[in-house]
Amino acid sequence: MREFYPKKGRVILHVDMNSFYASVEMAYDPSLKGKPLAIAGDAKQRKGIVVTCSYEARKYGVKAPMPIWEAKKLCPQLIVRKPNFDRYRLVSKAMFDILRTFSMLVEPVSIDEGYIDITHCHELGTPVQIAKKIQTKITNQLDLPCSIGIAPNKFLAKMASGMKKPLGITVLRKRDIPSVLWPLPVIEMHGIGEKTAEKLASIKVFTIKDLAHAHDMQLQAAIGIRGIQLKERANGEDTRKVDPEAMSLHKSVGNSMTLPRDISNQAELLGVLKKLANKVASRLKRKSYVTNNIAIMIRYNNWETVTRSCTLPNPVSAARDVYQAAKTLFIKHWNGNPVRLLGVTGQDVIKADQAFEQLDLFSYEREAKKEPLYDVIDEITKKYGPSSIKMGIDQKKEES
């Protein structure tokens, strides 16, 4: 079997579970199979949005994040189920356990997808045979469908896994790039969203081929240094290794401030805390991270130092959420003595696209609607400074 494996380089699979939440519900309740199913809020109250849906529902045009009332209009027979997050996590763990029976080089990137390096697994068969075995094992043990991309690097494997759904297996070699990838619209490339596609269109980059041949300086002017990385990807270049420890690394993002004088006024201290929370939130957003845990540090004028933290019910990155958690901790643990240093830290940091919120669909809907507002606020504060936007109540206080 060695002849099917490169003498140099890697063979990487990207395993992508098909319509994961809906498929899990069908596995637990077989009567749902073959029917249009959406995982969303309470259909009776006509609230919430579609998080995911079965392929049967997609045929009617149902998709995320569509409001339930609109989905029901497109597909009157749509079955709506509330999400069961604990169930999905349990099944996700079982899925990754199956992948590790083929290779220990497994890197989860979200609850329903991950990479597996099979470069040294030639004794198990050809790459395509191994992919078929993985598919069969997941289907037999978990009753779930998945699509698998086979490629020499992570980017191409990710692109390949999305080409045939559900239950597809796609091989994408570097020599296939000009005929398979380059004709695609740039929006279909992994790592490019609508906003980036719009910026690329402004420099006449419409297809992946256009991106692969774009001028470096034009790319940097349009979308920054990330443009060069995207160009490399468009040419099939990706040196990232499959890292089993990638998701288990506990990173943190924090800021602290030594005060110009010892302060014992609570309002002043909370003002400092708010500035620190804003800085932490800004760094989280910039790195596309969210945090599951907020910690504060209080150093008194006698150098006594207290650190306290709390685990959050859902991962956050917004300044108001970071501040609210930090404020609650501070009020609870500050002893009233003068403070010389304050610190706020987001702990257990993970990539935003890997976060999986333990919340009901109503809060999911609220947060989804607010995201454009937060983006606008971030842009304004970056351009005009942190005091350019203030809460109305604060402005009235200042005027009075």
Active site residues: 113
109, 45, 112: which is closest to 82 by C-alpha? 45
Distance CA 336, CA 265 (A): 8
Distance CA 278, CA 298 (A): 18
167-186 exposure pattern, b = at least 16 Cβ within 10 A, e = fewer: ebbbbbeeebbeebbbeeeb
Distance CA 109, CA 356 (A): 11
Question: Are 51 and 162 within 8 A, CB to CB?
Answer: no
Residues facing residue 305 across a β-bridge: 299
User: Sheet containing 79-81: which strands, arranged edge to edge?
Assistant: 52-53, 37-39, 79-81
73, 3, 10, 1: which is closest to 36 by C-alpha? 73
Whether 112 has a binding-site annotation, put simply, is yes
Place of tokens 């842009």: 379
CA torsion sign for 355, 358, 363, 364 is positive
Pairing between β-strand 339-351 and β-strand 289-300 as defined by DSSP bridges: antiparallel
Whether 86 has a binding-site annotation, put simply, is no
Distance CA 370, CA 321 (A): 13
Environment class of 214 (CB within 10 Å of its CB; exposed 0-12, middle 13-18, buried 19+): buried
Tell me the CA distances in angstroms from 171 to 144, 152, 160, one per residue in order. 21, 9, 7
Distance CA 234, CA 11 (A): 19
Token pair in block for residue 256: 């602290």
**Residue set of the binding site:** 16, 112
**Residue set of the binding site for Mg(2+):** 16, 112
